[in-house]
Amino acid sequence: MKIAVLPGDGIGTEIVAEALKVLNVLDLKFEMETAPVGGAAYEAAGHPLPESTLKLAKAADAILFGAVGDWKYDKLERALRPEQAILGLRKHLGLFANFRPAICYEQLTHASSLKPELVAGLDILIIRELTGDIYFGAPRGRRTAPDGHFPGAEEAFDTMRYSRPEIERIARVAFEAARKRNKHVTSVDKANVLETFQLWKDVVTEVAKDYPDVKLDHMYVDNAAMQLVKQPKFFDVVVTGNMFGDILSDEAAMLTGSIGMLPSGSMNASSQGLYEPSHGSAPDIAGKGVANPLATILSSAMMLRFSLNQPQAADRIESAVQHVLAQGLRTADIWSEGTTKVGTREMGDAVVAAI
């Protein structure tokens, strides 16, 4: 089991260190190698995703990823900015299936912006297509507008696109996932406006025929953004494209009130995967030892389950996290009156102890 460890920037190093502590007490044998990514890699090697890091990632069974980004790189040209490392890894490894659970932990229900009755017990799985759509579509760039409202003016453009097999494979991932859950898939599109998402809707509808035990409904993306707020528990599995998935998965994560708890995994066709917390690099609290390592620890559990075929080990980690929550331990982001505030390292230690 080869793991490429890419801590990245900001709190990345701190939270990944805790996940490694946890992995190391599982009595499993991993081959681990660490490499720089994002801003850290730009500093070290002049590029956010150096060849050597990409090579390591490609050769691994799974990648444990921290977070990338810092305001100080905002002025760099786009190709050198930290986020390009994520996009590059997704593209070069073909990580087309992104799993983003939005779970509301019983003990943290009060932390949600939403009224407790709306989110208590919430458990949504957002499956976002991750290598297609307008993220990677060509042509794109700047040019003189050939037509439109201001022909002759400078314009910028991008291409949204999805092919039938791209939609089909992510739809299958969603239906398979739903079979192991509440057997309900909501496919989110904008078929009333976009050609791309009319094809999306058509293909998802066809694929659904192979899953008669799963209920499928279609929802426009604007309505989905509303229903997530109005009745989040309506959803079980949500499947959507790269752009809409970017927006809705973050909205859903924030609804739980504890984004510091939410893991994420992105897989390719051979179950190779990249696992990272749903939150970002939080440069404002980096180095202070206060970041919540639980999303990263839970991402390592996802990694064990989906890419390393170690479901029992994954269960052990997840139970240990439940245990520390039940003990009342909280990092600053999820702390509330009556619970015990702990730092990044103490939280990692507590999970290790619980295992």
Interface region with a second copy, contact rule CB under 8 A, candidates 146-154, 294-302, 306-314, 323-331: 146-154
**Paired residues of 341 in beta bridges:** 330
Residue 17 identity (one-letter amino acid): A
Q: Is 210 a catalytic residue?
A: no
* Cα dist from 81 to 78, 115, 211, 214, whole Å: 5, 38, 42, 41
Instruction: Out of 87, 118, 225, 355, point to the residue binding ligand IPM (CB under 6 A).
Output: 87
- Quick one: CA dihedral 52, 58, 63, 69, positive or negative? positive
118 binds ligand IPM (CB under 6 A): no
Catalytic residue among 190, 201, 211, 333: 190
Pairing of strands 97-103, 123-129: antiparallel
Which of a second copy, ligand IPM, none has residue 253 at its interface (CB below 5 to 8 Å by kind)?
a second copy
115 binds a second copy (CB under 8 A): yes
Give the closest residue to 228 by CA, choosing from 118, 101, 121.
118
Which of ligand IPM, a second copy, none has residue 164 at its interface (CB below 5 to 8 Å by kind)?
a second copy
Instruction: Out of 45, 83, 136, 198, point to the residue binding ligand IPM (CB under 6 A).
Output: 83
What secondary structure does DSSP assign to 297-343, as a single string? HHHHHHHHHHTS--HHHHHHHHHHHHHHHHTTEE-GGG--TTSEE--
Please state the φ and ψ torsions of residue 270, each to the nearest 5 degrees: -105, 25
80 binds ligand IPM (CB under 6 A): no
Q: Residue 128 or 330: which CB sits closer to ligand IPM? A: 128
Q: Which of residues 234-293 bind ligand IPM (CB under 6 A)?
A: 246
Q: Residue 253 or 304: which CB sits closer to a second copy? A: 253
Distance CA 93, CA 80 (A): 19
Q: Is 135 a catalytic residue?
A: yes
Q: Is 250 a catalytic residue?
A: yes
Residues 6+ apart with CB under 8 A from 47: 41, 80
CB atoms within 10 A of CB 328: 13
Q: Which of residues 174-233 bind ligand IPM (CB under 6 A)?
A: 192-193, 222
Here's the x/- map for a second copy, 155-194, by CB under 8 A: it reads as xxxxxxxxxxxx-----------------------x-xxx
Sites of contact with a second copy (CB under 8 A): 78, 81, 83, 87, 94, 96, 113-115, 118, 131-132, 134-138, 140-142, 145, 147-150, 153-166, 190, 192-200, 221-223, 225-226, 228-230, 243-244, 246-251, 253-255, 259
Which amino acids are annotated catalytic?
135, 190, 222, 246, 250
